[in-house]
Each structure stands twice: as structure tokens, then as C-alpha cells.
Amino acid sequence: MPLRIIKSPHKMQAMAESFRRQGKTIGLVPTMGAIHDGHLKLVEIAVKRADIVIASIFVNPAQFGPNEDFGKYPRSFKSDCQKLNAAGADIVFYPSVDDIYPPGYSTNIDIGRIGEILEGTRRPGHFKGVATICAKLFNITRPHIAVFGQKDGQQLAVIRQMVRDLNFDLQIVKGPIVRTKSGVALSSRHAYLSAEDLAQATVIKRSLDLAVGMMERRIRSAKVIESQMRMMIDSVPDATVDYISFNRWDDLAPVKRLYGEIMVSLVVTIGRVRLLDNVIVNVPSWGRPGY
């Protein structure tokens, strides 16, 4: 069917319920717009798993801090719809801020510890806003699956935790990180970067590759690996490390010795833009570890 644009939450919910009654499987890809190939990969995954694919576009004010870029966040609705249509999405859910947060709105979801570490430390309230909007989108679009990219690793972990804790009847699917040819994880905030900035940002992926290589050589000390990553990043003039972290993937508990499924995540500022990236590594427990 041709791409449909739905703005009303009530209309979207009624339509989703109708699809469910017909026995159709619904897939949701939540976005804030400024659609790039990373988003389109998530749509591709949803198309393979669902009969009806809904992509939401909503720049959520609740997840932006007072000094962040809500006002200038890139918005390109017409071209976004063209890209989503070409990728196979059936519906774009495009509510207004007043549709989502009407006068008198006061309910929020506190995700707890998993939302207070890493990005949560630097952006207080961010994951409360993320969890709240995702819960609302799940209730409005009634999906059987929702696809989130690994690039925002902590966000993915937060949503998985919320879905488990609140018994949402849907499956969260992890989509891969999509990168430029030079290895930079795609982000809507690339609109803020110059070609020179993007060239310098390649050090982020190279530092993650370094970490993986060290773990493959049985180096199990997070401190030792972090120091080598920092040294590499610090060699790039305009790159500043915000943080490098090693966490268990299942619950994001920080770790010092590396065994099991580990997420190595970091944020590096290039110019004035914070860029997130990560890698998830299954580190074997057998064998004699290095230092």
C-alpha cells in the first residue's frame, strides 16, 4: 500500500488495533527523523519480520536538556518520507508535541540505575524522556516488534529493561551499527560536522578495533585497554574523550576484568559534537588471561 502519514495518536491506535484483528504483524521503527542509512537498515529488518511497518518521526523534547540542540535538531520531513517509502515502510506516524504531551501531562517513567550511568550521568533526565516516549509509542502503535539500533547502545539496553519490567507484549530487535565507508557510525548529528571533522572522527572506530584486538590477545584489564584507546584518540588534534566504559551487556553493570558479553562504549567530542559508538564483544572465560 502507498505510504500513509498519520498524525493523530487516536487514529494511529485504532488503525493498529484493526491490523491486529486482521492477524497482521506490526513492526515499529522509532526515529527522530533526519533519516539516514542507519534508520533505513532498521526499516529493512522490520520489513522482513512484519506485515505492517510503522516508522515514527518525533523529535522528543523530553529527552533534550536545557542547553542541548532540540531547537536546531535537523528536521527534513519530506525527504524522510521519501526515504522511508522507498525502504518499504507502510506508515509514518508523525504526531505533534501537543499530541504526545497535551496540557496537564505529568506522567514519566523512571528507568532506575541503568538510566543513571554513562549518558545518564552527563544528561540527567535523558533516559526518563526516552523511556516515556517509547512507552507511549508502544501503546499507540501496538507493535509486535520494535527495532532499535545498536549505535545507541545504552538506549537499547534501557528499552529492553523497560519492556521486561513493565511486561510489554513485544520483542525488541537489535539492529547493527551502520557506518560510513571510513568507519564512522552514522548519526543524524553528522549534519553538524565538516568533512574534516568526519575524517577526524574515524579515530573512534579505530580505537574500538584496538580494544577488540587487545581482548583477542587475552588482555582482560579494562584499565589497560582504556589507556591505549585514550592514547590513540588523544593523538587526533580535535578529538576529546568524554568517557570510555566497559559494561556487561545484559545489565550495563561496569566491569574491570573482561569476561562474557561486554559492551565497550565511548563518547568523543569532535569540534562541538558528541559522537557515540560502541562494540559488543563476547569475551571467552577460558584460558589464562593477560594483564
Per-residue pLDDT of 93-121, as tens digits, reads 999 999 999 999 999 999 999 999 999 99
> Model-level pTM?
0.94
Q: Are 155 and 192 in the same domain?
A: no
146 vs 134: CA distance, rounded Å: 10
Active site residue 39: yes
Residue 183 is assigned to a structural domain of this protein: no
* DSSP-assigned beta bridge partners for residue 28: 54, 146
Domain that holds residue 273: 188-283
Residue 291 is assigned to a structural domain of this protein: no
Mean pLDDT over 134-161 rounds to 97
Q: Are 31 and 39 in contact (CB under 8 A)?
A: yes
Provide the number of structural domains found in the chain.
Answer: 2
Q: Which of 39, 126, 144, 190 is catalytic?
A: 39
Taking only the tens place, the pLDDT of each residue in 35-76 is: 999 999 999 999 999 999 999 999 999 999 887 888 888 899
Q: Are 266 and 124 in the same domain?
A: no
Residue 182 is assigned to a structural domain of this protein: no
Q: Are 60 and 94 in contact (CB under 8 A)?
A: no
pLDDT at residue 136, rounded to an integer? 98
Exposure on the CB side of residue 82, measured as CA atoms within 13 A: 4
Q: Are 75 and 128 in the same domain?
A: yes
| Amino acid identity for residue 232 in this structure | M
Strand (E) positions, 10-118?
Answer: 26-31, 52-57, 91-93
How would you classify the pairing of strands 145-149 and 26-31?
Answer: parallel
User: Does the pLDDT value for residue 290 go beyond 80?
Assistant: no
The CATH number assigned to the domain holding 64 equals: 3.40.50.620
Q: Are 249 and 279 in contact (CB under 8 A)?
A: no
Q: What is the CA radius of gyration of the chain?
A: 20
Mean pLDDT over 195-220 rounds to 96
